[in-house]
Amino acid sequence: MTDLRIPISEEEIRALHAGDTVGLSGVMLTARDTAHKYMIENFIRTEQVPAAEQEIYEKLKADLGGGVIYHCGPVVKKDNGTWRFVAAGPTTSIREEVYEPEVIEHFKLRAVIGKGGMGPNTLKACQDFGAVYLQAVGGAASLIANSVAEVLDVYKMEFGVPEAFWRIRVESFPAVVTMDSHGRSLHDDVLAKSKAVFQRLVA
């Protein structure tokens, strides 16, 4: 396993290959559909960042430069004024395919975590800008929550708990590189092998 401290350098990312296991430590952000759409509309496909959104834009830039986005809609609980993650399983990533390449480029993102893989545009962005897609273990939401050492902040709670940006500190968060910065996707490999087996079965 390769231990990575966030923020992660491009050199560290380029050294990874599909199939490698990693343990992430540091600060990352959760972001799902609404958060991605918000970033695209307010910060990326716009000529000027709205004044009302400038503060959060600066916060996001600070965390996402060399940082990590986790496709996760957590289950959270508040104890004595402090949030904690009860469950933190990955959500399906392909829904963010229409947004992720631009987010990777704009914010200089180094890793995206989720489940199920992403498409060719995100794979190309990983190649072009030095990023990887990491597969988290589906069905282990409570176990993964143990890697979340602390909830540091939450942005845009008006989006709802699953869709808000949760700023979290993780320790030894386990994941597998399934799309690397060299153009390889294990998801594509599995699909190709499955199609070949199918063709043999129906021949």
Active site residues: 36
> Could you tell me which of 49, 68, 72, 135 has the C-alpha nearest to residue 108?
68
Tell me how far apart the alpha carbons of residues 45 and 25 are, in angstroms, rounded to a whole number: 31
Helices (H) and strands (E) in the chain, counts: 7, 9
Nearest to 57 by CA among 105, 114, 107: 107
Residues 66 and 91 sit within 8 Å (Cβ to Cβ)? no
- Give the phi and the psi of residue 168 in degrees, each rounded to 5: -130, 155
Task: Give the gyration radius of the chain's Cα atoms.
Answer: 17
CB-facing half-sphere around the CA of 159: CA atoms within 13 A: 20
Exposure of 150 in the CB half-sphere (CA atoms within 13 A): 6
Q: Which amino acid is at 3?
A: D
Q: Is the backbone peptide bond immediately before 7 cis, with ω within 30 degrees of 0?
A: yes
